[in-house]
């Protein structure tokens, strides 16, 4: 890869009640639309299986009427399915093209998406291994 190229890593947790519809939309509409955008070289979806490790960073768990103590820094295993899509891009500007910005569809699922992250990671050069 040449300088400037990067990965766009998107994760989402989706309510199981809409999971089949979500997957159908993602596989037949969203991913093909993304792959047609200028600067998007490839994209591949993954889904976690089994338990996900979750650390209670700076949060203290609270339940009214119960003292659960301070759980900051503790890690627990939680049964969740986390969807991850990794796109190979020519550069970060690929996410700013009119075609990329015009992609729609998340809105219909927004009430059912528990968490979503989007991270751009440079490939090659400083900091890469």
Integer Cα distance of 58 and 79 in angstroms: 21
Spatial neighbors of 98 by CB under 8 A, at least 6 apart, are none
**Top-confidence residue, 11 or 60:** 11
Q: Check pLDDT > 70 for residue 15.
A: yes
How much is the pLDDT for 53? 73
Higher pLDDT, 63 or 55: 55
Grade residue 100 by pLDDT with cuts at 50, 70 and 90.
very high
Distance CA 49, CA 82 (A): 8
Q: For residue 80, what pLDDT is reported?
A: 81
**pLDDT classification of 42: cutoffs 50, 70, 90:** very high
Structure confidence at residue 13 (pLDDT):
92
**Which tens digits make up the pLDDT trace of 72-83?**
567 777 778 899
Task: Determine the pLDDT at residue 2.
Answer: 47
Which residues contact residue 92 at a Cβ distance below 8 angstroms, ignoring those fewer than 6 apart?
Answer: 4, 6, 120
| pLDDT tier, 126 (very low <50, low <70, confident <90, very high otherwise) | low
φ/ψ (deg, to 5) at 117: -130, 150
Q: Express as a percent the part of the chain with pLDDT over 90.
A: 57
For residue 110, CA distances in Å to 47, 65, 122 come to 19, 33, 28
């Amino acid at each position: 890869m040449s300088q400037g190229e990067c990965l766009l890593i998107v994760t989402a947790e989706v309510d199981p009640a809409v999971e089949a519809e979500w997957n159908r939309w993602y596989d037949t509409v969203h991913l093909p639309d993304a792959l047609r955008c200028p600067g998007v070289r490839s994209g591949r979806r993954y889904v976690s299986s089994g338990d996900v490790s979750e650390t209670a960073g700076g949060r203290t768990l609270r339940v009214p009427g119960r003292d659960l103590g301070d759980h900051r820094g503790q890690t627990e295993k939680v049964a969740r399915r986390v969807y991850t899509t990794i796109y190979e891009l020519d550069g970060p500007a690929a996410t700013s093209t009119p075609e990329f910005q015009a992609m729609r569809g998340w809105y219909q699922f927004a009430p059912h998406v528990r968490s979503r992250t989007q991270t751009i990671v440079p490939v090659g050069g400083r900091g890469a291994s």
